[in-house]
Amino acid sequence: MKHVMFALLCFPLIVSAGERNYLDTIPVFWRTLYPDGGTGLYCGTRFAAFDRDYNIEHVYPMSWVTRALRCGDRDACRRSSARFNEIESDMHNMYPARKDINRRRGALPYREIRGETHIERGCDFEIDYRAGVVEPRPASRGNIARAMLYLADRYQLQIYERQRRTLLAWHRADPPDDEERRRNRRIADVQGNANSWID
């Protein structure tokens, strides 16, 4: 318990010093935002605290960031780039997701897919491997859009125009709800900045 309190108290100082990293952020993320469990991003299903079927999804994929920063693979970027470490550990881009869905999404961009091809266990998450895109359920699209747009704006990262148009449409169609605003405020308390696309 002392270690958790220490991490919660010190995390904003780490952020301001530009030295935060993803591995230190993981326990802060779970214990601060989801201490009793919560709802997964892609499937909308409830999960319990410390549920082994869930992990952290980076909505804006880290492989896109490593390419943009040209710092090597993820491990090399962690060793050589303070900017990469800041981006990778930014909790506004981190959401709980079922491991199997997170793995299938990989780094595919988001887009609407014609037709409905649901994948396992009733999760409304379509994947079109031929087109190389995924379509999340409507209730998560606004959250996804605001995480992607925030990260691109804050760190001057690229979102292709077609993807941006889709994200802006999702942002308008699925505005922030009370839970997303609460999460944004909690991250701001811990991390030191809010997602301006939410509040």
> What local confidence, expressed as pLDDT, does residue 110 receive?
96
Distance in angstroms (rounded) separating the CA atoms of residues 9 and 177? 28
In a domain, 36, yes or no: yes
Place of tokens 């990262």: 157
Distance in angstroms (rounded) separating the CA atoms of residues 39 and 95? 9
> What local confidence, expressed as pLDDT, does residue 115 receive?
78
Domain extent for 142 = 2-191
In a domain, 199, yes or no: no
CB neighbours of 175 closer than 8 A, spacing ≥ 6? 142
Length of the chain: 199
In a domain, 196, yes or no: no
Per-residue pLDDT of the chain (199 residues; tens, 9 = 90+): 443 444 455 454 444 436 789 999 999 999 999 999 999 999 999 999 989 999 999 999 999 999 999 999 999 999 999 999 999 999 999 999 999 999 999 999 999 998 766 676 779 999 998 999 999 999 999 999 999 999 999 999 999 999 999 999 999 999 999 999 999 999 999 999 999 999 8
In a domain, 85, yes or no: yes
In a domain, 159, yes or no: yes
Cβ contact 103:56 at 8 Å: no
The three-class DSSP label of residue 99 is helix
The three-class DSSP label of residue 7 is helix
Cβ contact 185:194 at 8 Å: yes
In a domain, 197, yes or no: no
Tokens matching residue 75: 């491990």
Tokens matching residue 198: 């939410």
> What local confidence, expressed as pLDDT, does residue 84 receive?
98
Cβ contact 107:118 at 8 Å: no
> What local confidence, expressed as pLDDT, does residue 120 receive?
64
Write phi, then psi, for 146 (nearest 5 degrees): -70, -35
Cβ contact 56:95 at 8 Å: yes
> Looking at the 3D structure of the chain, how many domains does it have?
1
> What local confidence, expressed as pLDDT, does residue 11 receive?
52
In a domain, 20, yes or no: yes
In a domain, 198, yes or no: no
Tokens matching residue 159: 């979102």
